[in-house]
Structure 1
Amino acid sequence: MCNKRLDVKEIMEIIPHRYPFLFVDYIEELEEGKSAVGYKNVTMNEYFFQGHFPGEPVMPGVIMIEALAQVGAVALLSLDEFKGKIAYFGGIRKAKFRRKVTPGDTLKLQVEIINRKGPAGIGKAIASVNGETAVEAELIFAVGV
């Protein structure tokens, strides 16, 4: 396990996402090709709060899933064999949304690659706030060009 913290510039060297679609502020733990733990500091300045929902800001579930996928992509694309490539969604299974995420929350994003065959596989993903699960899912991925 690498306990070196990756800042946002280092994350952008690994995955191609940029504002306004980069949803990971930093990586706290990284085991290349196996797992990663990252964080998203949720603020009222997020563009999606303009319409989701006026007067009741709630982080969209699909954005939480995307944030988890980006953390999983950091774990995968940090492998030498995948450097410079893109990880694509192949599917989402068993997604359960358990808690609202609102401005002021820090979203902990944990992804463990539980099955991989070549450039495809499955990641077990959990996002939580203060130890309370917000969403969990299995993310199916394929690494492409």
Structure 2
Amino acid sequence: MPLSFDAYELQQYQPNRYPFLLIDMVTECEPGQYAKGYKNLTNNEWYFPIHFERSPNMPGCLQIEAMAQMLTIAITTLENLKGEIVHGYKHMATFHEEIKPGHRLDIDARVLSFKRGLCKGYVRGSVCGKLACELETTILIPSIFNQFRPSGAR
């Protein structure tokens, strides 16, 4: 049975906090497989007044972060990984549509592989059913990943 988390419950699995917790709800999660949820965007987001004044939109780097955070949920819900710190390792993003105040960014994160602390994933962000952004990414859990690094590389 898939899991779901409200804004407070997801913080058990995602170490970021306001203003950098960029997901509001996890609607469905199968640990180690996928996580789905969303971010509600309002005029009150700290970045809208400065990006850009006449045409506010969600910065691409924050779209990447929101998508990576949803992928993080898909792996930190695995047994013994609750609350682990996760770092970005490699991101390849494509932006199709601007995400503006009033939009809801729906995020669908899929785990492609998870080995030795490295998670490869594919994430889609959509607004009103239309693809807005997508991300091919690798994230890592340092506490696991560092156990497999050669001793001279630490």
After TM superposition, the score normalised by the length of structure 1 is 0.94
CA distance in 2, matches of 1:35, 1:24: 15
1:69 paired with 2:68, answer: yes
Q: Report matched runs for 1:1-145 at 5 Å.
A: 1-2=1-2, 4-93=3-92, 95-145=93-143
Deviation digits for residues 51-73 of structure 1 (CA, Å, limit 9, x no counterpart): 10002111111111100111111
Q: Which moved more, 1:42-51 or 1:80-89?
A: 80-89
Deviation digits for residues 77-111 of structure 1 (CA, Å, limit 9, x no counterpart): 11113223111101112x21100100110100110
Identity among equivalent positions (%) equals 36
Shift of 1:5: 2.9
Secondary structure (helix, strand or coil) at the match of 2:131 reads strand
Question: Whose Rg is larger?
Answer: 2
Deviation digits for residues 34-56 of structure 1 (CA, Å, limit 9, x no counterpart): 10001000101000012100021
Question: Deviation above 2 Å: which 4+ runs of structure 1?
Answer: none
CA-based RMSD of the aligned residues comes to: 1.1
The aligned amino acid for 1:6 is F
Q: Structure 1 residues 19, 132: CA separation in 2 closer, same or farther (over 3 Å shift)?
A: same
Q: Give the conservation status (yes or no) of the 8 Å contact 1:38–1:109.
A: yes
Q: Give the conservation status (yes or no) of the 8 Å contact 2:12–2:82.
A: no
